[in-house]
């Protein structure tokens, strides 16, 4: 249909006006969401933590890299170990462990820090590490071989019962802070910072019935052990005789002690113990002869 020039001009002016109005109208909800998601993703990926920033239980302060390496050295972290870092922050301890071949996990409450850790791991080129968002007090890490942490003393003590329930021989390393009256097995000073180390001891406190066939010694051996974490002392009865127990050592699941019978002859015990109230190993008499022994706990006394 033909139109006169004036009509065409009016039509073009109307179309241009409608286009301007359309530009000013809000975008559809789907388009708005896409833009919002992109902005949120960009904001998360640009997240940079600030030393001293508030966290759930503590403020975040990064562990210096030389302290990280010292902690991992003290815990003898090696390929194949399962390491869990509690309150993993920017991921540096778990990533350093992964570089040594450990299967590392970081547990961190702040999801932005979790995302940062994942990006740091990707930049470091390690795939044998993962980071999970979670509360360390509600997390199960019982199968770890090594646990690392940089927490306040009160939090370390709150975690202590859970740590002591871990398998004997589990290695623990802490930046700066102790675990109450549980003395560290080792401590190292690095540039004004402390690295502390513990080995989870077998729970051996209580009464034990020891079974083996000692020559020229009367009756059964009954052992009483009192335990304060890795420090243990004992007394014993051999038949009706009270005898001396000395040199008791518990390192993880390894136990050693000496029992002197009523004639003063030393019997040296070396073996393995667990939290389950069982013990077994080898006893060597004064004559140098060795034989196996077993022991069963008949009553438990907790750590004091």
Mean pLDDT of 146-163: 97
CB 74 within 8 A of CB 53: no
Mean pLDDT of 15-43: 46
**DSSP codes of every residue in the chain:** ----HHHHHHHHHHHHHHHHHHHHSPPPHHHHHHHHHHHHHHHHHT----TTB--SSS-B-PPPHHHHHHHHHHTT--TT-EEEEES-TTSHHHHHHHHTT-EEEEEES-HHHHHHHHHHHHHHT--SEEEEE--GGG---TT-SEEEE---HHHHHHHHHHHHTSPTT-EEEEES--BTTB--SEEEEETTEEEEEEEPPP---EEEEEE---TT--S-EEEEEEEETTEEEEEEEETTEEEEEEEEEEETTEEEEEEE-TT--EEEEEEEE-TTSEEEEEEE-TTS-EEEEEEEEEEE----
Mean pLDDT of 48-63: 79
**Range(s) of the chain covered by CATH 2.40.128.520:** 206-300
User: Rounded to whole angstroms, how far apart are CA atoms 237 and 243?
Assistant: 6
Looking at the predicted structure, is the pLDDT value of residue 182 above 50? Answer: yes
Superfamily of domain 65-199: Vaccinia Virus protein VP39 (3.40.50.150)
In this prediction, residue 19 has a pLDDT band, given cuts at 50, 70 and 90, of very low
pTM of the predicted model, to two decimals?
0.83
**Range(s) of the chain covered by CATH 3.40.50.150:** 65-199
- In this prediction, residue 41 carries a pLDDT of 52
CATH topology of domain 206-300: Lipocalin (2.40.128)
Is 36 or 279 the better-scoring residue by pLDDT? 279
Provide, rounded to the nearest whole percent, the portion of the chain with pLDDT above 90: 73
In this prediction, residue 54 has a pLDDT band, given cuts at 50, 70 and 90, of confident
Is 155 or 58 the better-scoring residue by pLDDT? 155
């Amino acid at each position: 249909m033909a139109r006169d020039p004036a009509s065409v001009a009016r039509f073009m002016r109307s179309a241009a006006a409608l286009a301007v109005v359309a530009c000013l109208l809000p975008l559809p909800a789907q388009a708005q969401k896409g833009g919002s998601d992109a902005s949120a993703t960009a904001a998360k990926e640009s997240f940079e933590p600030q030393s001293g920033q508030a966290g759930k239980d503590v403020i975040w302060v990064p562990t210096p890299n030389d302290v990280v390496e010292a902690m991992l050295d003290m815990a003898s972290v090696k390929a194949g170990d399962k390491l869990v870092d509690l309150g993993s922050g920017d991921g540096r301890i778990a990533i350093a462990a992964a570089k040594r071949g450990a299967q590392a996990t970081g547990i961190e409450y702040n999801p932005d820090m979790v995302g940062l850790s994942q990006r740091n791991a990707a930049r470091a080129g390690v795939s044998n590490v993962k980071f999970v968002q979670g509360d360390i007090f509600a997390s199960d890490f019982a199968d770890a071989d090594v646990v690392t942490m940089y927490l306040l003393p009160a939090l370390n003590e709150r975690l202590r019962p859970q740590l002591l329930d871990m398998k004997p021989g589990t290695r623990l390393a802490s930046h700066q802070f102790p675990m109450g009256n549980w003395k560290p097995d080792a401590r190292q000073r690095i540039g004004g910072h402390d690295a502390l180390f513990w080995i989870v001891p077998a729970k051996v406190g209580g009464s034990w019935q020891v079974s083996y066939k000692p020559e020229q010694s009367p009756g059964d051996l009954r052992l009483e052990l009192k335990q304060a974490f890795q420090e243990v002392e004992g007394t014993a009865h051999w038949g009706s005789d009270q005898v001396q127990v000395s040199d008791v050592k518990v390192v993880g699941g390894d136990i050693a002690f000496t029992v002197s019978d009523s004639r003063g002859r030393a019997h040296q015990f070396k073996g393995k113990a667990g939290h389950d109230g069982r013990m077994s190993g080898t006893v060597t008499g004064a004559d140098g002869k060795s034989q196996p022994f077993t022991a069963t706990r008949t009553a438990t006394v907790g750590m004091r």
